Chains A and B, each alone.
Chain A
Amino acid sequence: MSEARLSDPIYRLKNLTKVYGERRVLNIATLEVYRGEILALVGPSGSGKSTLLRLLNFLEPPSEGVIEFEGVEYGVNQSPKLEKRRQVVAVFQRPMLLNRSVWDNAAYGLRLRGEHDTRSQVQRALAQVGLEGLAQQRAHTLSGGEAQRVALARAIAIHPQVLLLDEPTANLDPYNVGLIEGIVQRLNREQGTTLVLVTHNIFQARRLAQRVAFLLDGQIIEMGEVGQFFDAPQDARTRAFIRGEMIY
């Protein structure tokens, strides 16, 4: 990753908060996501990681503050145009496939965009996740790992600028975890897709990410380059979390 790319933010978050009822689940003073990087968000459950991801996906508006995406600011009551929103896609912990064939699942995002000639793109996406052979199989006959790879194929078929991953490998066997990590790394390297990965697995963060942010109670406690984050954390709470000593 070159230095020039790392200085070009695709997202810029300012004074962002999210409140559900009485609870403030997110309170971020500032956060930048650089174009073409892999950023991992780590932290215990309930720390606001998934909420942040939903805001980055424009599925929910912030309660306060602004999200700048590709140079345009979106405040509390402004959501991006469909065309912009469609450059970001998320894969969640559960694959949430449609009750159709693997092929139709992978083609879904392209069809939403009114693309008719989806054949080559779907084929490539399925090849990327190693499932060309299962194209005609019904989605719900797949194993957990295969299903998650189809979910990934469905997301990458649309060539998103940003791919958000919310615990994509929780509950999967090590073989599929390895496959999926390889797929997203290749995607980042070869196509320059910006990746934001939410994980409670610090080993995965270490393996994949270039930068890591540690969230606790909706706030970013510490953020840095992956080496520095793990080898020389500044905050005592980060150290405790990395050592697996965080008592909750």
Chain B
Amino acid sequence: MGLKRFRGRRLIAALLYTGMGFPPVVIGLFVYLLLSRNGVLGSLNWSFLPKLFTPAAMVVAQTVIAFPLVAGFTMAAVMGVDPQLRQQLLSLGATPRQAAVTVLMEARLGVIVAIAAGFGGIISEVGAVMLVGGNIEGRTRVLTTAIVLETRKGNFELALALGGVLLLLTFLANLVMLRLQGKVFDE
């Protein structure tokens, strides 16, 4: 999308940007309705579709939440690369695919931001995973839903500790991503 100009590109961009601000809990609701046994997809009983209240169902919801974030930021980053670069790469003998990879590499600062944004969006997400996963202990309970539960039960110390773990994990993940940005970030 960042590389080519085509009909409907503007519309897709508008949809992506809308998706970036879409309340995750609503996406959770949609996925819930789709996957539930009486839902549109759930009633088809296809074996490759995940069942509700399973980790796989949570992955589906999280993917839908993260996709517009990652795609939107990546598109913006790629559009920031000089369009003439692609012509130069093709001239040097790049296949269209090689040229696209190189342009992505040139936009790596922004692409990593896109991944960080997607990661941040879903690691901190509560509503959708609660709805779709069901917060089942040992199966679909994640840090965020556990924090909600423990706070409700009045176990503030445990909730705080879990919050600390979540923060630490997020911090570490972002450190790794900053490393991936590499030398470009220091310039």
Interface residues of A, Cβ cutoff 8 Å to B: 54, 57, 59, 82, 85-86, 88-90, 92, 94, 96, 98-99, 108-109, 112-113, 138, 140, 154-155, 158, 164
Q: Roughly how many angstroms separate A85 CA and B102 CA in the complex, as a whole number?
A: 19
A contact residues around B138 at 8 Å (CB) = none
A108 and chain B: residue at smallest CB distance: B92
Determine if B187 and A138 form an interchain contact, defined as CB atoms under 8 angstroms apart: yes
Nearest-CB distance from A47 to chain B (Å)? 20
B14: CB under 8 A from chain A? no
A92 and B98 contact, Cβ closer than 8 Å, known pairs A99-B184, A108-B92, A112-B92? no
B43: CB under 8 A from chain A? no
Determine if A98 and B106 form an interchain contact, defined as CB atoms under 8 angstroms apart: yes
Contact with A along B70-92 (1 / 0, CB 8 A): 00000000000010110110111
Interface residues of B, Cβ cutoff 8 Å to A: 82, 84-85, 87-88, 90-95, 98, 102, 105-106, 183-184, 187
Q: A85-B93, A112-B92 are in contact. List 13 more A-B contacts (CB 8 A).
A: A59-B87, A59-B90, A82-B95, A88-B91, A89-B91, A90-B88, A90-B91, A92-B87, A94-B84, A98-B102, A99-B106, A109-B92, A154-B92
Determine if A96 and B88 form an interchain contact, defined as CB atoms under 8 angstroms apart: yes
Determine if B84 and A96 form an interchain contact, defined as CB atoms under 8 angstroms apart: yes
Contact of B85 among A88, A96, A112, A140 (CB under 8 A): A96
A contact residues around B93 at 8 Å (CB) = 82, 85-86, 89, 109, 112-113, 158
Contact of A158 among B84, B92, B98, B102 (CB under 8 A): B92
Nearest-CB distance from B89 to chain A (Å)? 8
B107 and chain A: residue at smallest CB distance: A99
B contact residues around A154 at 8 Å (CB) = 92
Closest A-B pairs by Cβ, 4 of them? A86-B93, A96-B88, A90-B91, A109-B92
Determine if B94 and A112 form an interchain contact, defined as CB atoms under 8 angstroms apart: yes
A contact residues around B106 at 8 Å (CB) = 98-99
B contact residues around A98 at 8 Å (CB) = 85, 102, 105-106
A111 and chain B: residue at smallest CB distance: B98
Nearest-CB distance from A227 to chain B (Å)? 32
B contact residues around A90 at 8 Å (CB) = 88, 91
> Could you list 27 examples of A-B contacts with CB < 8 Å?
A54-B87, A57-B91, A59-B87, A59-B91, A82-B93, A82-B95, A85-B93, A88-B91, A89-B91, A89-B92, A89-B93, A90-B91, A92-B88, A96-B88, A98-B85, A98-B102, A98-B105, A108-B92, A108-B102, A109-B92, A112-B92, A112-B93, A112-B98, A138-B183, A138-B187, A158-B92, A164-B91
